Structure 1
Amino acid sequence: MTAETLNRLRTQILTLSKSERAALAREIIADLDGARDDTVEQAWDDEILRRMAQVETGQAELLTRDELRQRVRSRMGN
């Protein structure tokens, strides 16, 4: 693709509405990312369910925002 063609394309894209540009960007990114890996999606779904079960059964340690900040700061040496 020549620089001139690319500039024309860029100009045309900028005439699209914000939502149209966003949809186009999503399509381009999806194409660059390649095929979706359903095993990864399933692994994340399983992990979410596991963590929810830990919260519901009281096995998870829940932190307040202040507790989380304190832990992060202590790990960062602040």
Structure 2
Amino acid sequence: MSLPVEDLAAQALSLPPEDRALLLERLIASFEPKSPAQEAWFKLAQRRREDVRGGRVQMVPGDEALARVRARLA
């Protein structure tokens, strides 16, 4: 028996942030066909996320990152 969409949405929104993110990733992936390029990008994103979580890299604020890119292009 399937749940009405509103009930399902309410349950999903009550999940912790990490679980909601995982659910979102799975829902988005269900709309896109699997391709080698998509799989490679996904694996890269997962590695980068783990690098941040593991403290191996440090995040840079968006404005600062854009300023660095603009300086390199100038």
TM-score range, shorter chain: 0.3 to 0.5
TM-score between both structures, scaled by the size of structure 1:
0.44
Greater Cα radius of gyration, structure 1 or 2: 1
